[in-house]
Chains A and B, each alone.
Chain A
Amino acid sequence: QSVLTQPPSASGTPGQRVTMSCSGSSSNIGSNTVNWYQQFPGAAPKLLIYNNNQRPSGVPDRFSGSKSGTSASLAISGLQSDDEADYYCAAWDDSLNGPVFGGGTQLTVL
């Protein structure tokens, strides 16, 4: 059981905009920033969004993040087949004194 809650799956067609949610509590998302990671099968996770809405160098601006209260969202616009992957949210948890993750959302591009 993951500390942060994500829907297990999401889907969209090429060119579409999709969003996925991440729900937490006051001890994690409510008081700390959120990171998002992209993971392809058999590969390590890669940082996609940090500090709620910042993109590391090299990440296309099709990816955007937002946070409100104890929830966060990742949006992908202009969906491409290459975006098919698992997406995880994470935030520091002040009660656990460590980072906590969502269970991941598997994105399918139809």
Chain B
Amino acid sequence: QVQLLESGGGLVKPGGSLRLSCAASGFTFSDYYMSWIRQAPGKGLEWISYISSSGNTRNYADSVKGRFTISRDNAKNSLYLQMNSLRAEDTAVYYCARGDSTGCPDYWGQGTLVTVSS
């Protein structure tokens, strides 16, 4: 069965950095687009980045462009999100998600909480 397991969340000070990881299993990872989606406390879902199956194509929401970098290692079945220059408004649960044929998520991980606070 498809499993996505995020890790790397935690408490970080404003301006700091954090790297999230997502370990995938139960499907051929290299065949799928992958996305990071976040949910601030008590708020809705916000897509922040996707990466193509090969890693050649990436896109970002304006809210994180220039600060966050998505990457993947198909040999390790892993997805990553490097987050720099973190702000209080980046506080959220970050989900790793597999993209369906349209690019929208079908399977989601359980999420990892990132808290940006001094």
Contacts and interface: CB of A to CB of B under 8 A. Distances in A.
Contact of A102 (B44, B47, B102, B110): B44
Contacts of B37: 99
Nearest to A102: B44
A82 to B, nearest CB: 19
Chain B interface bracket (under 10, 10 to 19, 20 to 34, 35 or more): 20 to 34
B47 A101 contact: yes
Contact of A99 (B44, B104, B111): B104
Contact of B109 (A32, A44, A51, A103): A44
Interface stretch (A13-21, A60-68, A73-81, A85-93): A85-93
A103 B44 CA distance: 5
Nearest to A8: B44
B7 to A, nearest CB: 15
Contacts of B44: 2, 88, 101-104
A23 interface: no
B115 to A, nearest CB: 16
Minimum-distance CB pairs A-B, first 9: A44-B108, A101-B45, A103-B44, A99-B104, A104-B44, A92-B103, A35-B104, A99-B47, A90-B104
Given A51-B102, A98-B59, 17 more contacts: A35-B106, A37-B45, A43-B110, A44-B110, A44-B111, A56-B106, A88-B44, A90-B105, A91-B102, A92-B103, A98-B35, A98-B50, A99-B50, A99-B104, A99-B105, A102-B44, A104-B45
